[in-house]
Structure 1
Amino acid sequence: MSENENSPAIGSFSDGIDDVEEFVFANEGESSMTNERFQQVFEFVQTGNQAFRRKRFEEAINCYSKAILVKPGDPIILSNRCAAYIRLSQFLKGRAPSASEYNPLYGLDPTTHAELALKDAEKVMTCRNNSVKSYILQADALFLLERYEPARDVVIAGLQLDPLCTHLQALLLILERTCTGSGRGRNREKPERSDEFDCTLCLKLLYEPITTPCGHSFCRSCLFQSMDRSNKCPLCRTVLFISPRTCAISVTLNNIIQKNFPEEYAERKSENDNLVKLGVDLMPLFVMDVVLPCEKLPLNIFEPRYRLMVRRIMEGNHRMGMVTLDSTTGQIADFACEVEITECEPLPDGRFYIEVEGRRRFRILRSWDQDGYRVAEVEWIQDVNPAEGTRERTDLQELASNAAEYAQMWITRAKEAARQDRRRLAEILNVEAMMPTKEDPERFSFWLTTLSRRRPSERLDLLRLKDTKERLGRGLIYLRQEEQGCRLQ
């Protein structure tokens, strides 16, 4: 299903800008532009104009973009590129989905092209607000984005400049019918609920729909979950060069669904929120290794199930659980650590590079599969420590202070010993940067244990341990053992 089936009058007004402008030196107004630069820009614009007139809009956009790199901010080049974006967006909106089966297209969706057109139009308006063409470009871009009220304001402003502009007059009639008649005619023209509004992947009402360049519409989450396994359209197998970062939701289709099926849309929104915002006692799990509080590490996420999980986490609270497999049972361990994603970089091939930091630990009460990854109901765990003001609390604080002094000396010696080992030195500096205050003995005790490299079983025992004093003692023992081991070597 394509957007234009329900979009108001996409093709009912003229294409707006029928032709593009030539880049002429006399229009420059700048004596500082060298002949060599002018010739380079002139050739790019001339090639772009020829492509525009042949309706090869993508080629025209590429030529204008190259010209802008040489001559940034030029209103003629920006105006021409804006017109090409608008014409390409109009073409894609008016293209039947079935055409993709015989002639697939590659590239961005029509909404993204309209957004790029609006950015160029706004730049043109700042330097050419006395030209009616600037108002036509901005109004057309806003209209394609379904932003009817702002489009109407721009049209009225343009007609004050040129009351005889036929394109703006025609667009104003369409906008007035759309803005004033949408409320009255909604019940009369409300589309029937049919499978045309369903996602062909989940077979439910489209939620946050994306219309691909090949003309097919899917739920945003469904499409990118499918693209974790293949970068082709699930229906016609056209290769898609889109990502969650660059692909915009189909504004027209989304508005139609929200207005005409509000109850079902609310259910879909609630369902999606439950997947993304699990709540304080539910945690998505990443099965890898034992991570301790105050520990920081980088990860490359490449498995499709975990790519889906990371996308959902980034839309929610940025937190997940890092859990390992228990060597004795082969099942996921009963204790794990919550981590926060502090850095997330989507890569061109769909993978994610993330950095995580250990926060709180928890015990897993029960777990289950959800879309391929594990989700758990958890119980937060804290050490049982002596109350404030007691002798035991004072002793614990004194032990933490002594351990902090020893750790600082240990780090100094370790950095000196690792001067020739850049990797080990980077590890030590990374751990040193995560050092918490000694006024929080529990967190400090975990940080202390991250200074030395321990086996997974030992690290899992540290998560299970609820005695801060014992963990501080173990941390000191681990440091002495590692230091002695380095001396023996």
Structure 2
Amino acid sequence: MSVQTSESAKTEEHKSFDIGEFPQEEFDPFRDAHKLIEILQCIKCERIFREPTTMSCGNTLCHRCAMQASIASSPSLKCPFPNCWRNHTSTELKIDVLLSKIIAIIQTELVLLTRRANQTIVQDMVYSTEICLDGQSCLGRFAALFWQAERGLLRLPHDENVIPLEQSTTPGTTGSDQGTLDLETFNHLKPLVRPELECHICYLVFYEPITTECGHTFCKNCLQRAMEQNPLCPLCRFPLVPEYQCNRVIFNLLNYLVPALAHQRREHVADETTFSNPNERFVPVFICTLAFPQLPMFLHIFEPRYRLMLRRALETDRKFGMVLPSREPGVPGLQFGTMLQIRNVETFDDGRSLIETIGTYRFKIVEWGTRDEYATGRIELVNDISPEEQQVLEDQELQQYSGVVYSDADEDGDYKWLEDRPMDSIPSSQLIELVRQFVHKLQSTESWRNHVADQRPQTQDPPLDRPDELTFWVANILPTHEYERYRLLGTTTSRERLKIVVEWLKELQNLIPQALLFIY
């Protein structure tokens, strides 16, 4: 029994849902098998797509069907889909690489599974495709319907009166058994198809997939950004035009095969343009090294997850957090970090980037998260207490040593006089002067002239008149382990940082400045 329908009716009804619409209930491989098959059928020949060709309008035909229609309506193809009706040039009729691969995977695996199950198969001499006899398959309803569509036995749109459940089941099995077979077949195919549903630019599940004239598929937003830099295909360098519509077949496959991932991706895209107080939102976090406020940092970004993080940062506020890796199992990074502001970016053809950043402010991570394989964190800003409060704390510390007499400081910058003196007993003004003496001594050395001045121009002008920045500047050049220097990030007074830095200078007095020859 067959049902004759117009091409207009086929195109209007054979899709289970359109762009922007999503399935309202979970996909059932047995109950909804015909819906998935409809997605893979050409409206012209009503077979499973052979060499699928996706046009700029987002609709797909078999390549042979498209070419025949193009010849009939020469010099261009009048699109048979009622949502388009445009004329397409022959340059658009290229094979859809992604869809071809997905269909090939399904065909190959169904043949292999059928052989393993000792199912009787015959050879289709026209298309050289192995198919099941009489539309029956020991692999379940989906496989049976697939092979029927492969032979052109399923008319569009599918009709439950034409395709009753019992017609596509294996003799001797119940509906429950058949549903189990479909589930097993579907679970076998899904992980094989899943890797193909990722964009080659962002390496995530497609969001609004666009298939170009050359047959390659990308996320719509990814392709638009790529074309802003170069109007060529990111994969084959074919010249592209700016107008493409979402690939309807791939869009529908996403929502049937990986609905949870597709939904998650839509939520992530919606969140990318949502901004709020940094204390209330999760920020991207690069777990790599130690960064300090007001100091530049140059980074080489090459991992796919951090390339994605960088792209998102460039599209929003151009910021991301930097923290050191944690030494505790199960904790991705240390608690305190520095927010980096992106200044300049140089991107290479292979996707790598060199970026120049500057530290802006310190933060504390109060909750860890992940997004598309890179870390995120909900943060709290780390600020110094007010100058008045800092002065009160300093007075309290100095008061404890008011009756104690210590030796005077060495005018030559020797730190031996500090060996028996508690840091709490030294006024902040004297601590600042000790740090400045170190900087002046460093600037007079050959190591500074030959190494620092040539290779680290940003260190030529230390902020001697800004004690808050000076401590971070000195910590950044000292040959002290970065996990030790990390202590500065959690401090809330400049005096506390000065004491830590001077303690380091005292411990390193025999190495400075000679050791600096080896760190630049």
TM-score range, shorter chain: 0.3 to 0.5
TM-score by length of 2: 0.45
More helix by share: 1
Larger Rg computed on CA atoms: 2
